[in-house]
Amino acid sequence: MVLNHKLSFLCLLLISKKVFGLIPATPIEQSSRAIASLRNIIRDRDEDSTSKPKRFYIDYLIPLPLETKEEDIDPWPGGLAQQYPYAEKILLQILSGIVDEQGECSSQVISAGDCCGFFIQESKTSPKNDIAAILFPSVDLLSKIEEIDSMVGDRTLILFNRQFQRPADFGFFNKKKAEKAVFDRFQWGFAFQEFAVRSEDVKLTYEFPEGWQSCAICEEDGNMNEIELLDAQEERPTYDELDKKINEVLPEPIWMRKMGEVDKKGFKFQR
C-alpha cells in the first residue's frame, strides 16, 4: 500500500503540469507541484553563482481534517497546534522529494508555544545538498531564524507557512532587522493561496519558473470551473489588480448570477 502510494506520487512528478488545471486539484498534486517548483529554482540558483542565497518561502494550503463538517465555523479550532501534525507530514514529504538522494531527516521543536519546528533533510550525495526548513516561523522567532540562517550557510533553507506577511508585522523596533534578515534574503519557492475578491473565490499559485498565476472558481450547472484572471507574472498580483480583472471577466456579481439561476431553474429544492 505504501509502495503504491509512493509510485503514484513519483508518477505525478513526471507528468507535465499542462495536464493539470491552473490550481492543484488534490493534496498529492499540490505537493508534487511544490517539489517540482523548488527543484527548478534550486537548480537555477546552483547554475548561477551570482544569484541570491537559496532561501525560499512555501505557502501550502493544508487540507482540512476529514472530520470537518460544512457547518463548522472554524475547521481548525486548535489553531497551529492542531495543524502541526498535518503540516509536519506534508513538509517531510516535500523535503524528501526536493533532495537529490534522500538520507535521514531530523527535526526538533524550536518553540512549543509558537508551534514552530526545524527540519533538516540530509542528502546522501553531499552535505551541501541538504535541505533545511522552519515550520510555522513567527515574528517572535526572528533571532532564531537568523541563527538557523547562519548555521545553514550555502544550503537551502525554507520557511514553510510563515506566520507573518510584511516587515511591519515584527513591530516598530524589529522592522529593519526583519527586512534585512528575512525579506531581503527569502523569495517565493511555491505558493497556493485562496481568498475572496468581490465575494468571488480566488486562487493564486506561484511556481518557478512560471511565476504567479490567478483564477476564480465559479459554480455553473453543478460544475466548478476555473476562470483564468491575469497572465502569469513575476510579482504577486495585488487585490486591486484582481478586483479590476474580475469586474471585466465576471461583470455580474455572484448574488446576481445566483438570482438569474433561480429565475431560470427555480430553487434547488424545487428542481
Q: Which whole number is the average pLDDT over 250-262?
A: 71
pLDDT tens, residue by residue, 167-205: 999 999 999 999 999 999 999 999 999 999 998 999 999
pLDDT at 148: 98
Q: Look-up: residue for cell 490567478? A: 214
Q: Which whole number is the average pLDDT over 93-101?
A: 96
Grade residue 75 by pLDDT with cuts at 50, 70 and 90.
confident
**Single-letter code of the amino acid located at 222:** G
Question: What cell does 163 get?
Answer: 506566520
**pLDDT score of 207 more than 90:** yes
| DSSP, residue by residue, 195-234 | EEETTEEEEEEEETTTEEEEEEEEEETTEEEEEE-SPPBS
pLDDT tens, residue by residue, 114-144: 999 999 999 999 999 999 999 999 999 999 9
DSSP helix/strand/coil, 237: coil
Q: Look-up: residue for cell 512555501? A: 58
Of 111 and 266, the one with more pLDDT: 111
Reading across the β-sheet that carries 131-135, which strands appear in turn?
102-111, 116-123, 131-135, 156-160, 55-59, 187-197, 200-207, 211-220, 223-228
Question: What cell does 80 get?
Answer: 497551529
**pLDDT score of 269 more than 50:** no
Grade residue 68 by pLDDT with cuts at 50, 70 and 90.
confident
Q: Which whole number is the average pLDDT over 93-112?
A: 97
Contacts for 40-46: CB closer than 8 Å, 24+ residues apart: 40/208, 40/209, 41/189, 41/208, 41/209, 42/98, 42/156, 44/208, 44/209
- Taking only Cα atoms into account, the Rg of the chain, rounded to an integer number of angstroms, comes to 20
Q: What average pLDDT does the chain have?
A: 88
Strands 187-197 and 156-160: unpaired
